[in-house]
Chain A
Amino acid sequence: MPQHTFQLNGETVTVDVEDDVRILWVLRDVLGVTGPKYGCGINVCKACTSHLNGKAFNPCSVRVQDVGPDDEITTIEGLADTVPGDGLHPMQEAWLEHDVAQCGYCQPGQIMAAVALVRRVREEDRAITEDDLDAIRNVCRCGTYSRIRQAIRTGADLMG
């Protein structure tokens, strides 16, 4: 069986798995990294949103053969380690402050999408707009959308 090597949450991992298995299942079923959730498998619900080299991506729609040894995948489990100190990532802190989660199933994906959004608007040297928030595609069936909007603004401030 082919071997695939990539960076996962700061560590080099190598897995034996067929080339075309989507990264979501490599993470969840092979490596036991269960933070990224399955919600649709076709890149429309965004529950599995994680980061590839610091940008949001959906591992349900990327084959393991399409990432290489230098590609860095960050899941919700590794998000806190991307910032200095032993604490949480500021966006996770914002999520706690606003008590966003209800069932919590979508929230890892929501947080990863939010961090990527803040990074994106920073690169464009501008503030988050209502249109930016409207364009977030992550489904929350519990309907926590309003608190998500508040938390993203708080998290953006905390990210400095």
Chain B
Amino acid sequence: MSSYFEINELKAEIEGKPILNGLSLTVAKGETHALMGPNGSGKSTLANVIMGHPAYEVTGGEILFEGENILELDPEERARKGLFLAFQYPVAVPGVTVASFLKHAHDAVYGEKKLKAAEFLKQLRADMDFVGVDQTFLNRYLNDGFSGGEKKRMEILQMLTLRPRMAVMDETDSGLDIDALKVVSMGVNKLVGAEFGLLVITHYERILRYIHPDHLHVLIDGKVAFSGGPELVKRLEEEGYDWVRNEFGKEALMA
């Protein structure tokens, strides 16, 4: 099987400090992968590098999406190829309304195939209902004064709006109460399917009760230290994250 989304020997640093030290993992089409690891292991750096944040410098390796090395693409080109990052800390954008932002994003990603304004709005309203975002948010400034939970729902709403083919979720579960977590997971699961790849970056096993991964990777010191299939996921579900901690030692997994 040709690879769908493949990270090979990725090395990256920020402000001269190496964070990723030869990270490799592969997500096949239709699969959901979970990436776990302690603070400082490089989880968020990986998410930002995948999307092309200019503050991070890639010093080696490649990221292939459908055979193309996306490291050579601008962030907007990656998004237009069908890549999506749900941010851990979505920034507030005062002055730009949710409706305007989503329409611009939709138009940019879909280009010629974009929906007409009325059609777009209809779909958007349906998606908002689905993830429990009130319609009044359309006219609010993006993430401005939103609670943590509202911001995360907004990320999922954006994901539903743009319908990516490969998504990375960077600790979307952090700071969510169980109800919000269920809603967010429901939104994600709407996209999960044969034509979709998903990489869930998380600190906690909790979200994996709602979004079921096919594979699990453990990230330590900027490298995948351990990977496994369904049996590993099952063990994690049964024994919790403590098991990983015992396996790899407390020092490495200090939270």
Indicate whether A and B interact.
no
Q: Please report B residues at the A interface, Cβ cutoff 8 Å.
A: none
